[in-house]
Amino acid sequence: MNSGFLADFTAGWVGGVLCVVTGYPFDTIKVRQQNFSASLWTAFKETLRYEGIFGFYRGLVSPLIAYGPSNSIFFGFYGISMHALNGQGPGAPSHINDRCKYFLNLFCAGSIAGFFQAGIMCPVELVKIGLQTNSRESQTIIKYHGLGGLYKGFLPMIFRDVPTSGIYFVVYEGLLPHSRKDIQWYHKIWAGGWAGIASISSVLPMDVIKTRIQADDPIYPRYNGFVDCTRKLYQEEGYRIFWKGLPVITMRAFPANAMMFVGYEMTMEFLGAK
């Protein structure tokens, strides 16, 4: 493992933990909106009324444990992919020279990293959503569907995470000052927050479909895969259901992703990798 990958790995871990802790209450509301077709206010009110403040953190342990290392893999593979695609040195494409190729490489490297992260996080998301919606435990899934059942909803997760990861880095780099010497912390907060909003809001329908599939009853499922879930959601609730949770996702994305990039960048600087 080279030092560059190790730095990306460590910084990604720190950023991932900060992202989860900051955004988890918003994520709980979003999942309950998407699964129960509730309004933002209803999801918030019912959670607070019946479960108290800790209800917003229900299921936090699994993503908190897993998101650190998975985010490490995410940034680690991003670093490796960007190095392979873009190269290094004065002749490599950058935001100053050959911007089109540079941003294309950013998108491709981010998408590759998103694929590997989705492979790690799918079982974690499944367990998390089960706890957030009180639908079932992971033991039930394994009992009826084996270990492969932990990858229920993997296809919409791929559709969600691969392109958004590419968009993520493109928007982040694009919003930073042209002169990298002028970058301040508030620039990173601004760029990281908007990168999160742009990436997840662009593929929200995939997130809704993933939530419904993963929250489905493993014994008596309503949905028979991605296409069937999409068709039934549209027939029963119309096109609006595919954009359920957009306001709360926007509210979550900015602070959570801003904290992730701040944690990542601070750690990279601490390790002398920036």
Confidence of residue 82 (pLDDT cuts 50, 70, 90): very high
CA gap 34, 204 in Å, rounded: 10
Q: Are 231 and 5 in contact (CB under 8 A)?
A: no
Assign 22 to helix, strand or coil: helix
Residue 86's pLDDT is: 92
* Cβ-proximal residues to 160 (8 Å cutoff; 6+ apart), any chain: 118, 203, 206, 207, 210
Cα dihedral across residues 206, 261, 191, 186: positive or negative: positive
Domains of the chain, CATH where assigned: 3-270 (1.50.40.10)
Q: Are 169 and 143 in contact (CB under 8 A)?
A: no
Q: What is the pTM of this model?
A: 0.79
222-233 confidence digits (pLDDT tens): 999 999 999 999
CA gap 67, 80 in Å, rounded: 19
Q: Are 39 and 33 in contact (CB under 8 A)?
A: yes
CA gap 69, 58 in Å, rounded: 20
Closest Cα partner for 59 from 95, 96, 29? 29
CA 108, 110, 111 angle in degrees (round to 5)?
A: 65
Least-confidence region, from 1-10, 193-202, 206-215, 230-239: 1-10
Residue 139's pLDDT is: 61
What is the average pLDDT value for the chain, to the nearest integer? Answer: 87
Residue 1's pLDDT is: 42
Residue 3's pLDDT is: 62
Q: Are 161 and 115 in contact (CB under 8 A)?
A: yes
Per-residue HEC secondary structure of 25-83 comes to: HHHHHHHHHHHHCCCHHHHHHHHHHHHCHHHHHCCCHHHHHHHHHHHHHHHHHHHHHHH
Whether the per-residue pLDDT at 73 is higher than 50: the answer is: yes
248-257 confidence digits (pLDDT tens): 888 888 999 8
Single-letter amino acid code for the residue at 18? L
Percent above pLDDT 90 for the chain: 38
* Cβ-proximal residues to 43 (8 Å cutoff; 6+ apart), any chain: 29, 32, 33, 36, 248
| Averaged pLDDT, 14-22 | 90
114-173 confidence digits (pLDDT tens): 999 999 889 888 888 877 776 555 566 667 667 777 898 999 999 999 999 999 999 999
Confidence of residue 65 (pLDDT cuts 50, 70, 90): confident
| Averaged pLDDT, 199-216 | 90
CA gap 92, 183 in Å, rounded: 21
Token match 């950058």: residue?
A: 94
Least-confidence region, from 61-65, 156-160, 198-202, 240-244: 61-65
Q: Are 11 and 271 in contact (CB under 8 A)?
A: yes
Token match 């607070």: residue?
A: 48
Confidence of residue 262 (pLDDT cuts 50, 70, 90): confident
Residue 36's pLDDT is: 85
Closest Cα partner for 165 from 196, 188, 191? 196
CB atoms within 10 A of CB 155: 17
